[in-house]
Chains A and B, each alone.
Chain A
């Protein structure tokens, strides 16, 4: 197991070299001058030139790339032009909020998806199954930005149960603060999990070993809790893995609307202000996260299903 994990981590190296190259080159194509962005419109040409020198923007491409590679290896991922801070510090400030949304939304998704998947599977082909399916189709079809405003208008402004946005101090304060953004993200995850878990449950119910379990004299709930549910949940692991990778960098809209200072809004701000080092650094950071999340997913899979070996 440990050997397989270290092997997988080693395989990360070529992947990351590729990602640094691609993210570096892509940003060279991007229009707009970072120096003039950073200095504002009133800066003189001399000041702009000094800025470009300072950030190394005038140097040959390969030298700039090597600088970038050095920054990645030393762990700073470069220095933000706009914030004038190492990018890793910016990430460290914001990562907890993003991870909080990742974890919170996944818990919400499971709490919603589990009962509905079980309900639908137990009544497969009947009215109830169809009603549940239609409800989740509607949930998936709702655009997140619209859902965000509906929830703000209804639950935050009219009912006054939640804050309209922002984050609070400490864990407990943020359970309330991050509920609405996590709910929006969690609803789409729930729809995905509900669909796949329903199918997995129906499949598992037909398996021969379920008959074996019943032949032992186990009662309905024992068969379900010990045999059907655990084996069905295995397929949910990979869905959660894919969603987590996506949420880490992909909750821009939700973070913006609820003013959550997460990684998504950091990326958008960097793009708007042409903060090249931040865009680059974040791209590499997201790539590392995706690879790590995939590895964790595979480890969970191998732990849950003894037939699966970590290669």
Chain B
């Protein structure tokens, strides 16, 4: 049974120009001990999906409009009262933000910031919390951790700050960690260290991780399963190897064709033409159709297509392309 099961999640953001459905009917499952990648370009709703799970929307006026977020042994997070959800946050599900500098309180010492999450959920004296924070810093391989406890965030390097944020997330050994582009704000060399650290913690503690990224390289490096999102919807999901080796949705195929590195030197990168649609008034039918090289007239009609399995697809590999569905029906 899966640890987290998201079903038909809809999250709406209020803006002066209207209501944007940043997440529009998203479903996925995360299994125990699994690293689940969510990829997509900026504004596709991958970050909003993650924030919906713990209802952390920053200053934006957003709300989970419908759907289920079932956490094993805890219940539906989407139905929970704010006070109950506060018990889950930090203890069962932890969050790692994109920019570790802005994610840490600039006027509070590191040790206190880590200690805070411990003291919130567990009876601990200041000294005990400090001792625990020290151990956590050691666990995430922070050099001279005693000294860092009394440092302020601006006194640390970007990589160290992200380690501190990870230490905070690991403090209560949550069952699930949601990492929202945890390496985007970091140098490439530091990125690699942080990803290794996350993977290492998963291996030793069995923590499930949802890893949001726009970097398919990162996904292939550490994720077990993945979902590709486009314009607020999941367009393809499955085991990482299946999706990346045999992408079945035209959007995933286009993403891979636009990716440098895997292609040989003399072949050209193929950019995806156009821009993602507005989420306030999305087009009918498949949302990728206006940019899709393979689009047929029937692609732009009716409701947005749901996920389904293509013939001969690997187990658990689904996509949302109408054309695949048609060929499936014909077969």
B56 CB within 8 Å of chain A: yes
A158 CB within 8 Å of chain B: no
A60 CB within 8 Å of chain B: no
Tell me whether A208 and B97 are in contact (CB under 8 A). Answer: yes
Residues 160-184 of B, flagged 1 when their CB comes within 8 A of A and 0 if not, give: 0000010010000000000000000
Size bin of chain A's contact surface: 20 to 34
- Which residues of A in the span 183-238 have a Cβ within 8 Å of any Cβ on B? 202, 205-220, 222, 226-227, 230-231, 234
A304 CB within 8 Å of chain B: yes
A14 CB within 8 Å of chain B: no
Q: Which partner residue on chain A sits nearest B85 by CB separation?
A: A217
Query: Which of B66-74, B115-123, B220-228 lies at the interface with chain A?
Result: B115-123
B94 CB within 8 Å of chain A: yes
B107 CB within 8 Å of chain A: yes
Give chain A nearest CB distance to B284 CB in angstroms: 34
Tell me whether A209 and B105 are in contact (CB under 8 A). Answer: yes
A306 CB within 8 Å of chain B: yes
Q: Are A216 and B107 CB-contacts (below 8 A) given A207-B102, A208-B102?
A: no
Tell me whether A219 and B103 are in contact (CB under 8 A). Answer: no
Give chain A nearest CB distance to B150 CB in angstroms: 11
Tell me whether B58 and A211 are in contact (CB under 8 A). Answer: yes
A307 CB within 8 Å of chain B: yes
Q: Are A215 and B94 CB-contacts (below 8 A) given A206-B59, A306-B152?
A: yes
Q: Are A208 and B103 CB-contacts (below 8 A) given A215-B54, A215-B90?
A: yes
B318 CB within 8 Å of chain A: no
B88 CB within 8 Å of chain A: yes
- Cα A213 to Cα B116 with chains together (Å): 9
Q: Are A231 and B168 CB-contacts (below 8 A) given A215-B94, A217-B117, A219-B83?
A: no
B106 CB within 8 Å of chain A: yes
A305 CB within 8 Å of chain B: yes
Tell me whether B105 and A227 are in contact (CB under 8 A). Answer: yes
Tell me whether B86 and A304 are in contact (CB under 8 A). Answer: no
Chain B residue numbers with a CB within 8 Å of A217 are 86-91, 117, 120-121
- Which residues of B in the span 66-114 have a Cβ within 8 Å of any Cβ on A? 82-83, 86-91, 94-95, 97, 99, 102-108
Q: Which partner residue on chain B sits nearest A209 by CB separation?
A: B105
Tell me whether B106 and A305 are in contact (CB under 8 A). Answer: yes
Q: Which partner residue on chain A sits nearest B55 by CB separation?
A: A214
Chain A residue numbers with a CB within 8 Å of B155 are 306
B328 CB within 8 Å of chain A: no
- Cα A231 to Cα B106 with chains together (Å): 8
**Which residue in B87, B89, B108 is a CB contact (below 8 Å) of A214?**
B89
Tell me whether B107 and A218 are in contact (CB under 8 A). Answer: no
**Which residue in A218, A230, A307 is a CB contact (below 8 Å) of B154?**
A307
Chain B residue numbers with a CB within 8 Å of A234 are 107
- Cα A222 to Cα B97 with chains together (Å): 20
- Cα A227 to Cα B59 with chains together (Å): 15
Tell me whether B107 and A231 are in contact (CB under 8 A). Answer: yes
Tell me whether B103 and A305 are in contact (CB under 8 A). Answer: no
Tell me whether A306 and B103 are in contact (CB under 8 A). Answer: no
Chain B residue numbers with a CB within 8 Å of A226 are 108, 116
Chain A residue numbers with a CB within 8 Å of B168 are 212, 216
Most A CB contacts (10 A, CB to CB) among B87, B102, B116 go to B116
Give chain A nearest CB distance to B283 CB in angstroms: 31
Tell me whether B106 and A218 are in contact (CB under 8 A). Answer: no
Tell me whether B99 and A216 are in contact (CB under 8 A). Answer: no
- Cα A306 to Cα B154 with chains together (Å): 9
Tell me whether A231 and B54 are in contact (CB under 8 A). Answer: no
- Cα A222 to Cα B116 with chains together (Å): 10
Tell me whether A230 and B107 are in contact (CB under 8 A). Answer: yes
**Which residue in A205, A212, A216, A218 is a CB contact (below 8 Å) of B59?**
A205
Q: Are A208 and B90 CB-contacts (below 8 A) given A215-B56, A226-B116, A307-B152?
A: no
Most B CB contacts (10 A, CB to CB) among A213, A217, A220, A230 go to A217
Most B CB contacts (10 A, CB to CB) among A209, A226, A231 go to A209
**Which residue in A216, A220, A222, A307 is a CB contact (below 8 Å) of B106?**
A307
- Cα A215 to Cα B54 with chains together (Å): 7
> Would you give 7 A-B contacts (Cβ < 8 Å), ordered by A?
A205-B59, A206-B59, A212-B97, A215-B94, A215-B97, A218-B86, A306-B154
Q: A206-B59, A210-B58 are in contact. List 15 more A-B contacts (CB 8 A).
A: A205-B59, A208-B102, A209-B102, A209-B103, A212-B104, A212-B165, A215-B54, A215-B94, A216-B116, A217-B86, A222-B120, A227-B105, A230-B107, A234-B107, A306-B154
Q: Which 5 A-B pairs have the closest CB atoms?
A: A206-B59, A217-B90, A215-B95, A216-B117, A208-B102
